[in-house]
Amino acid sequence: MKTYRIGQIVPSSNTTMETEIPAMLNARQGDFPQEGFTFHAARMRMMHVTPDELKAMDSQSDRCAQELSDARCDVLAYACLVAIMCQGPGYHRQSEARLGKATEENKAPTPIISSAGALCDSIKIMGFDKVAILTPYTKPLTQQVAAYIESEAIRVTDSVSLEVSDNLAVGRIAPMSLLEHVKRLDTSEADAVVLSACVQMPSLAAIQRVEDMLGKPVLSAAGATTYQILKTLGLAARVPNAGYLLSGRF
């Protein structure tokens, strides 16, 4: 068995990515018994999802990348979507390059991905250019997320904001409640639905259910991050019951 070390840079109040990413990767065990994973995280202080806190949090990401590179992880994921997207168009590329340099300076060069980049790239990999999104954010932050996605040549056809700014409360949103919230989305023009455009809002348990209900591809920021982790490691991007992106087609 080959064991891969998965590093995540997460907000200090985030609880979901350290739950959903291990769940998805470990769910592959039956199909890929030769693979094993260990999970490691470094934290950036943040309690409330506001522009000021997000910007202050992002400044801590270099330290986190260096700390995780001490453990010689095989890949590092910057696991906060909105912290990147509120910094302006294309910032995920700047962030990934800077964090990669931080690991190189620590003499442990490590591939870097970001949830923000992973979401946009994964939509394109599926061949789509129109999505409807569900977020836990306030409407102004949702508008920034939509603008960022659109700056990557992907049209956001509709959005629903749950208006939750306390990051701990976001992590306590019941995944199955998304089956009702998503009914408020106009998905008629969308190629796919982003059920959670936020790495802290749990959605894994609902993705396949919503996909079956809507008859359209459904993905999440966490699922897109998992997809990019697998591709970066050169592994098959297949996870059972995790939606179209992780069906093995890509």
Which residues does residue 134 pair with via DSSP β-bridges, in sequence order?
Answer: 160
- Cα–Cα distance measured from residue 11 to residue 53, given in angstroms and rounded to the nearest whole number: 10
* 137 known ligand binder: yes
Catalytic residue among 64, 80, 86, 120: 80
Residue 200 labeled ligand binder: yes
What is the largest distance, in Å, between two alpha-carbon atoms of the chain?
A: 50
Provide the Cα torsion 132, 153, 165, 84; round to 10°: 150
Amino acid at 42: A
φ, ψ of residue 222 in degrees (nearest 5): -65, -40
Inter-axis angle of helices 139-151 and 115-125, nearest 10: 50
Active-site residue identified among 64, 73, 120, 198:
198
64 is in an annotated binding site: no
**Which residue is it, tokens 């620590």?**
106
Any catalytic annotation for residue 80? yes
Q: Find the angle CA(184)-CA(165)-CA(172) to the nearest 5 degrees.
A: 75
3-class secondary structure, 45: coil
202 phi/psi in degrees, rounded to 5 = -65, 135
Burial string for 180-199 (b: 16+ CB within 10 Å, else e) reads: ebbeebebeebbbbbbbbbb
H helix intervals, 5-161? 17-26, 51-58, 61-70, 81-85, 91-105, 115-125, 139-151
Residue 193 labelled as part of a binding site: no
Tell whether residue 167 is among the known ligand binding residues: yes
Binding residues: 14, 80-82, 137, 167, 199-200
Catalytic residues: 80, 198
Binding residues for substrate: 14, 80-82, 137, 167, 199-200
